[in-house]
Amino acid sequence: MSGGGFHVHGPHDHELEHAIQGGHGGDHGGSMTNQIAMFTAIIATVGALFAYMGGATQANAGLFKNNAAIKKTEASNQWNYFQSKSTKQSLAELARDLSAKDEDKAKYQGKVDRYEKEKGEIKAVAEKLEADATAWDRQSDEQMHQHHRWAQATTVLQVAIALAAIALLTRKKWLEYAMFGAGGAGVLIGVAAAMHL
């Protein structure tokens, strides 16, 4: 630029003005950059939410598996208790059968009847604990399946973000389409996770 009002517009000045103004109407480089930046921000936010959900479902799966193990241990304890009552009942039946006196037979029969009743109660508790353990295992498996869906969605979104960076650097339109496709696929997998599919 000269001091007398005469303006000489060089190539470097043209590029600076172009960068400041965000590009010409015919050049879509600026709009591509804005699209990719907006896409990356949105997908990164969605990916962070998916990652959180994946971590939460993994923690739930571990907690539920732990609950199942506790219930299995409690059920095992009940079955051991059932077995001890069975042993006592067998001994009482043997004593009853070997007794010569009727009053001894009646006493041992009372014990046999008591042990039989106690075994029924213990068995009911043990079976309930086993059912609870099975339910906790099933919930754990469901949470792990959902965790895998969240992890898949997060991974696909991370790939979309990587494609966005490459598209931004190379200015290849097909990479921008691939970026949008991967982002859409990641969101769909996340929806599948949210719907427990």
- Give the predicted TM-score (pTM) of the model: 0.69
8 CB contacts (<8 Å, ≥6 apart)?
1, 2
pLDDT at 17: 53
What residues does each domain of the chain span? 31-194
pLDDT at 71: 96
pLDDT at 13: 47
Residue pair 126/78 in contact (Cβ under 8 Å)? The answer is yes
d(CA 85, CA 92): 10
pLDDT at 31: 80
d(CA 197, CA 189): 9
pLDDT at 32: 79
pLDDT at 22: 53
Answer positive or negative: Cα dihedral of 137, 140, 146, 151.
negative
pLDDT at 76: 96
- Mean pLDDT per 10-residue segment, the chain (197 residues): 49 47 52 86 92 94 96 96 94 89 88 93 95 96 94 94 90 90 93 90
d(CA 185, CA 46): 12
